[in-house]
Amino acid sequence: MPEGVEIEIYRLAAERALGRVIATVDANDGWFCKDGTTPEALVAALSGATFTSARRRGKLLVLDVDHGPRLGLRFGMTGRTIVDDAAPIDSLEYSSDRNDPAWDRFAVLFDDGGSLRIRDPRRLGGVSLDPDEEALGMDAFSVTAKELDRRVFVGEVAIKGRLLDQARVAGIGNLIADEVLWRAGIDPAAPAGSIDAKGRRRFRSHLQTVLADFMRDGGSHTGRLQPARERGGTCPKDGTPLERRTIGGRTTFSCPLHQRSGR
DNA sequence: CTCGACTCCTGTTAGC
DNA sequence: TGCTAACAGGAGTCGA
């Protein structure tokens, strides 16, 4: 599913849309327009304009517009960006690999004949104008040790739940969280404030390598834990049957043998 | 402020 | 074979 890694890949694709004149906007799915934004407002804001930069904060993709409000794009768990009919990612966990234009929920058509589309079968993503970027925590790719200690490794809530809280650190989804905790040997159910300095150091180190690995390999479904994230799966490190729990409202797989930090 | 529970969406898949 | 129900999770809302 799209997590910070996929959105970064979408951002790179969206850079090809910069500087091109927008001729028309397809925003016919009113449900997909969020935060009070309407199809009419999107058409009015974008027609005749150009995108000047493609930025990302966590799972939010922001396209700056030469005049007028910024465009915010969210992808839920099945959304993709398609620029000029080329999708930067062709396989997405929990989504469909079918290429069905009926799932285009929003599209910007350029006067050169190209386009930027959001294709989202399950419609959990959305489009908005002037999204509240400050409501999100520091981005996972650049988050500092100090910020993690201040915002994430605090309190009694399970560390897994903390990691999914986009207001504390932005861009980590279910698969990245499970993979990093698994590599770092941290129990997902451990109280966030209970992780010692060694565990926190391991977490930071593995977060950076997981993000780099996932970027290199093409998405958040390419982890070493991923093939075992199913009922009856065993730990790829030590062969122990994995534990399957719901933590922070999300299905969580972990190894009861080696993920013991914080227990 | 914190935090768990609930709700939204719909393609896929397991199971009868 | 064909149908139904469970499942997936990002994100917003609500209430204790």
Q: What is the pLDDT of residues A119-130, one digit of tens each?
A: 998 898 999 999
- Average pLDDT of the segment spanning A62-91: 87
Please, what is the average pLDDT of chain A?
91
Give residue A97's pLDDT. Answer: 63
Cβ atoms A3, A179 nearer than 8 A: no
Rounded distance between C-alpha atoms, residue A204 and residue A202, angstroms: 6
Work out if A98's Cβ lies within 7 angstroms of strand B. yes
Q: Which residue has the tokens 């959001």?
A: A118
Rounded distance between C-alpha atoms, residue A6 and residue A2, angstroms: 5
Reduced 3-state DSSP string for chain A: CCCHHHHHHHHHHHHHHECCCEEEEECCCHHHECCCCCHHHHHHHHCCCCEEEEEEECCEEEEEECCCCCEEEECCCCCEEEECCECCCCCCCCCCCCCCHHHEEEEEEECCCCEEEEECCCCCCEEEECCCHHHCCEECCCCCHHHHHHHCCCCCCEHHHHHHCCCCEECCCHHHHHHHHHHHCECCCCEHHHCCHHHHHHHHHHHHHHHHHHHHHCCCCCCCCHHHCCCCCECCCCCCECEEEEECCEEEEECCCCCCECC
List residues, Cβ < 7 Å, touching strand C: A 1-3, 34, 58-60, 74, 76-77, 94, 122, 124, 164, 166, 173-175, 249-251
Give residue A94's pLDDT. Answer: 64
Q: For residue A85, what pLDDT band results from cuts at 50, 70 and 90? A: confident
- Give per-residue pLDDT as tens, A167-221: 999 999 999 999 999 999 999 999 999 999 999 999 999 999 999 999 999 899 8
Question: What's the whole-model pTM score?
Answer: 0.93
On the CB side of A102, CA atoms within 13 Å amount to 4
- Give per-residue pLDDT as tens, A32-48: 999 889 999 999 999 99
| pLDDT value at A149 more than 80 | yes
Give residue A92's pLDDT. Answer: 67
| pLDDT value at A1 more than 80 | no
CA of A177 to C1' of B11 (A): 24
Q: Which amino acid is at A185?
A: G
Least confident window among A94-98, A155-159, A195-199? A94-98
**Nucleotides in B strand less than 7 A from protein CB:** 2-12
CA of A77 to C1' of C4 (A): 24
Give residue A261's pLDDT. Answer: 85
Percent of chain A at pLDDT > 70 equals: 96
Least confident window among A23-37, A76-90, A206-220, A225-239? A76-90
Q: For residue A91, what pLDDT band results from cuts at 50, 70 and 90? A: low
Work out if A155's Cβ lies within 7 angstroms of strand B. yes
Nucleotide nearest to A97 (CA to C1'): B11
Burial of A24 (0-12, 13-18, 19+ CB in 10 A): middle
